[in-house]
Each structure stands twice: as structure tokens, then as C-alpha cells.
Structure 1
Amino acid sequence: MTPDAEFGYELLVCRYAELSWHPSEGPRPALVARQLGTRERRWDTVVIEVDPAAFERRRAFGERTIDSDLLHVVRGAPPEWTWYRDALPDPGYPWRYVRQAVHRAAGRDLIEKRRDGNRIQIRRVRPYPDWVERIVAVENKPDLDRSAADRLAEQLGHDIETGLADEAWLATETTGERVEPALLRELPVEAGILATDFSAGVDADAVDVAWHPSDLAPGSGERRDAETETLRLEIAERAYGKGWRSFHDTMRPDCRHFELRREGRALVPYCAAKEKVPTARECSGSCKEFSPEPPQWRTKGWPIEGGPGKGLTALLERRRERERDRIAPAGDD
């Protein structure tokens, strides 16, 4: 059955997108993440459509997020040794922070650095690729009522106006019934609508396109401004490093009641004590049902070093890596 919490529904939408994106235009290589965005707007699900060959070149920079300060250094690093202030564009903030980012970038082998007298010189290890093709925002609302439709109309309208995403969707649960047409009419016509029924599990057949979205990318001859492009890349980098299975970072897999349960082709967290899919707020050390794993689970007879909680965390991380591996590079021309 479909998890009763919006959080659980969100995980199923993420898994669907990972398996079957794009819903109306056929398979596209993509990364999926959740709860990402800007200071003004956070998206439930984010789909980063990528160029496979460029994505492989991005992976050469490692598996961790390259944050905004590091991006400034990595993207601007020159092919030849250059004083970092001459090599990089003016950041608009004190250069001492750039210098700190230079040291961090070199520490992660993202660039090379050396001293020439009192000056720090840098050069690139390899060019940073243009790996992001499109960014798609999905809002998840399993129970769409009038008040939810009003809020979503405002949120989706913001996405359409800012042009930060290339496409915007609403995903809502039908469980075999039609979504009320009057509610759908409240939403911007530019936003697509996914009607989902995950009661039998997660696969391509569990989702129907109730409304096709408009392309929000600038038209022919137009370009997004540099600030927006940089912000899009920062979101994509966070998606690359985080993925959507990172809920173990904000929950307590070390609790004896924490489990992973299968929903078709998805694994979702489950609390055996409460018999439900918990939210990150519920699954915390302050929960009255929280019970740490007994020490003997981690020391005697358990086949995974660190106990079952560590094992579940490792499983989720391996699945994130497997999805990165699945985005195969393009063939030779």
C-alpha cells in the first residue's frame, strides 16, 4: 500500500522518476534528488537531466557536492599556472574567502595550487564540464484539496515566473479515482500534472500524465542571466552529492525499530514501533519510542560491521552509487 505520509509519497515519486523519467517523452538520463532549491523556494523532487558523456567527466571530480565557493574556483581555474586573483572573476565579496576556497579545492584535488613568492597560483586539473541539460521541479501532494491547490498554484506560479526550472509538475495520488477537474483548473496551465497510483507498487504503469507541461526554458536566441545559470548549477551539484536516499542522514537508522520496507521497486523507511512510514521529524533521538541498537548487535555475530543501522545506511549509499553508474556515457560518434 502507499505510505500514508507525504514524506513516504515523496520517496515513491523520486523512485518513479529514477526508473521512468521522462513521463511523456521517453527515457532520459537523469539524477533525482529531494528537498532542494533556493532561499525563496524549495522543491519536493528535483530531476536533473544530464548529458551522459559530460556527466562522466563530472564524476572525475569525485562523488561529493562541489559547493558554490568551490564552483567559483573550479570553473575559473586556468590551464596554465596563474595568480588566483588574475585567474578568477571578481567574486563580489572579500578575496580572503576565495583564498580559503582555493585551499579547499586543492585539498580535494579539484585544482592544483603552488606558491610563487607570496602569491598563490592555481591551474585546473581538467575542465569542469557542462553536464546539466535540464532541471525539472516536481511538487508532491498525494491528497489534493482546495486549500492545497491554492497553495500549489502560488508555488508553481513562482517557478514559472523565475524560469529557474525548465519544467514544473504536480504529482498527486488518484488511487484509481479521477483527480477533481475543478482543483486541477486552479493550477497554472504551464505546469504538468502526474496522476499516480502506487497501491500496486512503483513502476511506469503507476503514473499517468493528466496534463502536459510547457517548456519554461528561454526561447530561441534568449539566455538565462549568469546569476540564474550559476544558481541552477549549484542546485544540480547539491542533487549530485545528496540524491534522494539521503534520508538516513536526518533519521535514526541506529534505532532497533528502524527498517526499510519494499514498496514495489522502492525501499522506504518504516518504524516497526509506530507501524508507519515516519517523517524525519518523528524519527529522531527525541522520539519516545527511540531505542538504540544493543551493543551486541554491533559486536557479535552481526555480518555487517557497525550493526544493522550501519548496514542500512551502506545499502542506501550503494544504491545511490549504482544509479550514478547507470547513467552510461554516450557512444563514440
Structure 2
Amino acid sequence: MTYGDAEFGFELLACRWAELAWPPDERRDSAVFVSRQLGTQKRRWDTIVVECDPEGFAARAQFGEDALDSDLLHVVRNAPAEWTYYRDALPHPGYPWRYVREAIHRAAARGVVEKRKQGNRIEIRRVAPYPDWVRRIVAIENKPDLDASAARALSAQLEHDVETALADEVWVATAATGASVEPALLEDLPVDVGILTLDFSRGVVADAADVVWHPSTLDVASDSDAFDADEKADRRLEIAERAYGKGWRSFHETMRPDCRGFELRREGRALVPWCATKECGQTAAQCSGSCAEFSPEPPQWRTGGWPIEGGPGKGIKQLLEGRREWVRERETE
């Protein structure tokens, strides 16, 4: 198959495989949600797999499909069962209370807490207890062609991941070569990092992966050089929330599905972006309004009755967003 830009296309296929078949070589007993291009200010991972408590994951759905940022989490997680003045209900956030009031207004507008005014005081009440829904976070770096130079470039980043231990496990996913000893095993990677080889010659199928090196389980509950244990727990939850809100199909937000050449091509059980004009896979950098081949959909496509609102580009967005919702619903059943 053709990946277009190898790393981007491989990343999308790896995300779809993880959605189907994570964890590798084990029976799934957690709800699983996959996202891409997430992390902290200093580190961004290609793929994030969030393993969730199924009941907790279902309870998380009560707070809507969008992510809760750190300010909203402060309000939602500490909101009381009975009406209480917000300063009595919430621990001091470490920043001015006016920002907390802004977060309360945002939370109430989204329906994730209730608020009322009693005299000059704002009182809040929870709509439901915020669940303990995240079991584990797995970080995956995708390098389809893991040669010596790519391994050297990755090594420092992976060492950082192991030392900070924000993720429970860290993996490198690379394209299978079929060699008796996979080249990735011979590269200088940290021993705590797992190595996964993926064969997408048949597209994305559940048995496309082989584990050639198992990772260590990192100590996410203890202090590290970068974070103390409490700060680490908060960061992990924020990452999980962003993953929940974003998913991995959000590539349409940085590409141009409204171009008449934009298509989705099936690769096994995955749908990936394809440029019919150039006859190749594409990336967000290539698929933009500045592309010399960009050709916007004609107006009649957008009013011709399919889909009911918008043209094919709108339909592609609805399809990808619908699939993200389907995965959420499937994992709560």
C-alpha cells in the first residue's frame, strides 16, 4: 500500500489498529480510546491509547463529548452534592478566584455543573460525581522506517518519557520488515521502551501487529524529576480528557475536505485521506488552501441534496465525527 507521507499515513493506520486490537497479545478488559498528537508543553506523542474502566468511561459520558480543561476539571471534580458557596466548596486553585468564577460560568453553560445566585454569592452543585475512569495511558511513537539516524533522534525523547513517567508504558511502532531479527531490535533505544512491528500490507486488520520487545511498566504514582505525584496525576487526567475530546480522526480539521480532490480511501478496516488529483496520500501540510491543485467544491455540490446540509466535504466531516462517537458508544456497551 502507499502511505503518502510515510509517517503521517502510518500514524493514522496505527491509531485505527490500536482502536481495534489494543492491547497486543492480550485480551481486552478495558474500554479503549485512541488519540493522536497529544502531550505536554515539552513533549508531544504521536499516538495516545487511554485504557479506561468501562463503568467509569460510561459515567464520563455524562459530562459531554468535549474535553474538560484543567480549570473545568477543578470545578467539576470538586463540585459538592448540595448547593454550596463556590469558595467553600472548591479548594484554592493557586490563582485568583475570578478565573474560577469564569470556569464556573463555562461549566454551567456546558451543563457539567449547576450554578445559582444567592444574594451576591454564586453557589454550585454537581450534576454527577466525576468518575475515576482512567486506568492506564500508553504513549506510542510511530516510525515506519526506524533506521539508525531515526533511532538516535528518538532516543533522547524516549529517555525523557521514561524519566517523567507520565505514561504507564512507552512504545515505538515501526513497519514490519519480515526479517528474522527486526532491525528495530538492533537500534539503540531505551530498554524500558516496547517495540511493536506493524504490517499493513493488507491494510488495517486486527492481527497486523507483533510485539518484538515488551516495555517496562513505569511508576506513574511517584514523584519524578519533572512532576510531583499530585501534579503528575493532574497532567495525566488532562491528557486523557484531551484524548477523549479529540480522538484521532480530527485530521479533517487541519486539511481541506472541501476540495473536490479530497477523498477517503479504505485500507482494510481504516479510512485515510487521499488526493484524487495527485493520486497519493496526503498530509495537513500538503492538503491546504495554498496547494497549487486546490479546487474548492462548486456551489452546486453543496446545495444538491447530498448530504442534506453541505457537499461531499461536509459529509466526510460528519462521517469521521460519527465514527468517533460510535467508538465512544461501543466502549460503554
Does 2:31 align with 1:29? yes
SS in 2 for 1:205: coil
Cα pair distance change 1:116/1:182, threshold 3 Å:
closer
In structure 2, C-alpha distance between the alignment counterparts of 1:180 and 1:205, rounded to whole Å: 20
- Counterpart for residue 120 of structure 1: 122
CA deviation after TM superposition for structure 1 residue 278, in Å: 1.0
Native 8 Å contact 2:221 2:229 kept in 1 = no
Native 8 Å contact 1:11 1:244 kept in 2 = yes
- Counterpart for residue 135 of structure 1: 137
How is 1:32-181 mapped onto 2 (pairs within 5 angstroms)?
Answer: 32-177=34-179, 178-180=181-183
Does 2:212 align with 1:230? no
In structure 2, C-alpha distance between the alignment counterparts of 1:272 and 1:165, rounded to whole Å: 38
Match of 1:266 among 266, 270, 278: 270
What amino acid sits opposite 1:87 in the alignment?
A
Does 2:328 align with 1:327? no
SS in 1 for 2:47: strand
In structure 2, C-alpha distance between the alignment counterparts of 1:276 and 1:266, rounded to whole Å: 16
Native 8 Å contact 2:220 2:229 kept in 1 = no
TM value normalised by structure 2 = 0.94
Native 8 Å contact 1:145 1:183 kept in 2 = no
In structure 2, C-alpha distance between the alignment counterparts of 1:154 and 1:203, rounded to whole Å: 32
CA deviation after TM superposition for structure 1 residue 328, in Å: 3.0
- Counterpart for residue 3 of structure 2: 3
- Counterpart for residue 210 of structure 2: 208
In structure 2, C-alpha distance between the alignment counterparts of 1:88 and 1:111, rounded to whole Å: 13
CA deviation after TM superposition for structure 1 residue 302, in Å: 3.1
In structure 2, C-alpha distance between the alignment counterparts of 1:61 and 1:188, rounded to whole Å: 39
In structure 2, C-alpha distance between the alignment counterparts of 1:259 and 1:107, rounded to whole Å: 36
How is 1:305-324 mapped onto 2 (pairs within 5 angstroms)?
Answer: 305-324=309-328
Native 8 Å contact 1:51 1:131 kept in 2 = yes
CA deviation after TM superposition for structure 1 residue 182, in Å: 6.1
CA deviation after TM superposition for structure 1 residue 281, in Å: 1.2
1:166-219 deviations in Å (ceiling 9; x for gaps): 0000000124345325643x0111110001111111113211101011111357
5+ residue gaps, structure 2: none
Cα pair distance change 1:314/1:90, threshold 3 Å:
same
Native 8 Å contact 2:169 2:217 kept in 1 = yes
CA deviation after TM superposition for structure 1 residue 92, in Å: 1.2
What amino acid sits opposite 1:69 in the alignment?
D
- Counterpart for residue 194 of structure 2: 192
Cα pair distance change 1:179/1:4, threshold 3 Å:
farther
In structure 1, C-alpha distance between the alignment counterparts of 2:250 and 2:191, rounded to whole Å: 33
What amino acid sits opposite 2:119 in the alignment?
G
What amino acid sits opposite 2:114 in the alignment?
E
TM value normalised by structure 1 = 0.94
Cα pair distance change 1:93/1:122, threshold 3 Å:
same
In structure 1, C-alpha distance between the alignment counterparts of 2:330 and 2:311, rounded to whole Å: 29
SS in 1 for 2:35: strand
5+ residue gaps, structure 1: none
SS in 2 for 1:327: helix
1:288-318 deviations in Å (ceiling 9; x for gaps): 1111000011112534420000001100011
- Counterpart for residue 298 of structure 2: 294
CA deviation after TM superposition for structure 1 residue 145, in Å: 1.3
**Identity of counterpart residues, as a percentage?**
67
1:220-279 deviations in Å (ceiling 9; x for gaps): 9x9971111011001000110100000011111000010000011100001112221111
What amino acid sits opposite 1:23 in the alignment?
P
CA RMSD for the aligned pairs? Answer: 1.8
User: Matched residue pairs, number?
Assistant: 327
In structure 2, C-alpha distance between the alignment counterparts of 1:179 and 1:224, rounded to whole Å: 37
In structure 2, C-alpha distance between the alignment counterparts of 1:47 and 1:303, rounded to whole Å: 32
In structure 2, C-alpha distance between the alignment counterparts of 1:182 and 1:327, rounded to whole Å: 34
- Counterpart for residue 17 of structure 1: 18
